[in-house]
């Protein structure tokens, strides 16, 4: 059996583009492309299941009854959705090898303004 193993709130939140904290690109201009985010007012739970998981943004972990330690799902940085996020924030991603797209940590404090 496969499951995502995530912890999410059930409070309804607006689409990212509607929030008062505006995202900024590495060149300090406003982010205008939010195609990498869920564009509906839903709970985090619903956004995850209806949009992010369906797009393959997170890994799935197998559940075994004999497991002693819980392993949570992780972000798939090579996912097309995450690559759209890099592009929207103007973050250049260098390939790490022949088969990988490479990743860089997105530091929230570098990309937010009120």
pTM: 0.68
Model pLDDT for residues 4-15, shown as the tens digit of each residue: 567 788 999 998
Q: How far is CA 3 from the centre of its chain?
A: 18
Q: Is the pLDDT of residue 112 over 80?
A: no
Model pLDDT for residues 16-61, shown as the tens digit of each residue: 888 888 888 888 899 999 999 999 999 998 998 899 888 988 877 6
Domain segments of the chain: what residues?
Answer: 1-114
What pLDDT, on the 0 to 100 scale, is given for residue 1?
42
Pairwise CA distance, residues 112 & 89, whole Å: 11
Query: Residue 16's closest CA among 106, 74, 78, 88?
Result: 88
Q: CA angle at residue 36 from 25 to 96, to 5 degrees? A: 70
Pairwise CA distance, residues 40 & 99, whole Å: 34
């Amino acid at each position: 059996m496969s499951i995502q193993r995530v912890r999410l709130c059930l409070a309804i939140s607006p689409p990212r583009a509607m929030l008062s904290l505006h995202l900024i690109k590495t060149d300090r201009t406003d982010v205008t492309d939010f195609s990498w985010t869920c564009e509906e007012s839903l709970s985090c739970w619903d956004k995850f299941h209806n949009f992010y998981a369906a797009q393959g943004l997170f890994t799935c972990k197998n559940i075994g009854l004999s497991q002693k330690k819980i392993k949570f799902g992780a972000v798939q940085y090579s996912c097309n959705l995450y690559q759209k996020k890099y592009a929207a924030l103007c973050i250049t991603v260098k390939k790490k090898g022949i088969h990988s797209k490479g990743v860089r940590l997105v530091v929230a404090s570098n990309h937010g303004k009120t």
